[in-house]
C-alpha cells in the first residue's frame, strides 16, 4: 500500500470553477500535512500546510484535514489557467518512525484549468 495516495488526473476544470484535490495517507500517527504546487519543469513550492483537523483558508486556497479518515484535501476557488500545474500532497510521518523532518510525497494530481 502506497503511503500517500493521490489521483494522478488530469483533473480538468473550467476557469472560475472550484478544483478539488484529494489525498489519503496510511500512517495514522502523521501530524503535519502539506500541499505543494509544481509547474512543469520547475521545483515544488509550498501552497498550504495544515496540522489540525478542520479547514484552513488562505486566499483562494482551502486545505481540509480529517485525521480520523486519514484524508487531506485542497480546494481552489475561482480556478485560473495559471493554476494549471501538478499538486503534490506531502505528509510528515511521526518522528518515531525515523520521520525527523521527512516528507512522504504522493505522486501528484495534474490540474488543467481551461478558459
Partner 1 sequence: DTAVSQTPKYLVTQMGNDKSIKCEQNLGHDTMYWYKQDSKKFLKIMFSYNNKELIINETVPNRFSPKSPDKAHLNLHINSLELGDSAVYFCASSYGGDTQYFGPGTRLTVL
* Cell numbers representing residue 57 in the block: 483558508
**Min CB(9)–partner 1 separation in Å:** 11
Q: Is 92 in the site for partner 1 (CB under 8 A)?
A: yes
Cα 8 from Cα 67, distance rounded (Å) = 22
Which residues between 7 and 36 bind partner 1 (CB under 8 A)? 32, 34
Angle at 89 between CA 62 and CA 32, to 5 degrees: 80
- Determine if 86 is a binding residue for partner 1 (CB under 8 A): yes
Select from 21, 62, 108, 113 the one that contacts partner 1 (CB under 8 A).
108
Phi, psi of 36 (to 5 degrees): -115, 145
Select from 11, 22, 26, 105 the one that contacts partner 1 (CB under 8 A).
105
Amino acid at each position: 500500500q502506497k503511503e500517500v495516495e493521490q489521483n494522478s488526473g488530469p483533473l480538468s476544470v473550467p476557469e472560475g470553477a472550484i478544483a478539488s484535490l484529494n489525498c489519503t495517507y496510511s500512517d495514522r500517527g502523521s501530524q503535519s500535512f502539506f500541499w505543494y504546487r509544481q509547474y512543469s519543469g520547475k521545483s515544488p513550492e509550498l501552497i498550504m500546510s495544515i496540522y489540525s483537523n478542520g479547514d484552513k483558508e488562505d486566499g483562494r486556497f482551502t486545505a481540509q484535514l480529517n485525521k480520523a479518515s486519514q484524508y487531506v484535501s485542497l480546494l481552489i476557488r475561482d480556478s485560473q489557467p495559471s493554476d494549471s500545474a501538478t499538486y503534490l500532497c506531502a505528509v510528515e510521518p511521526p518522528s518515531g518512525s525515523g520521520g525527523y523532518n521527512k516528507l512522504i510525497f504522493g505522486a501528484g494530481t495534474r490540474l488543467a484549468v481551461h478558459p
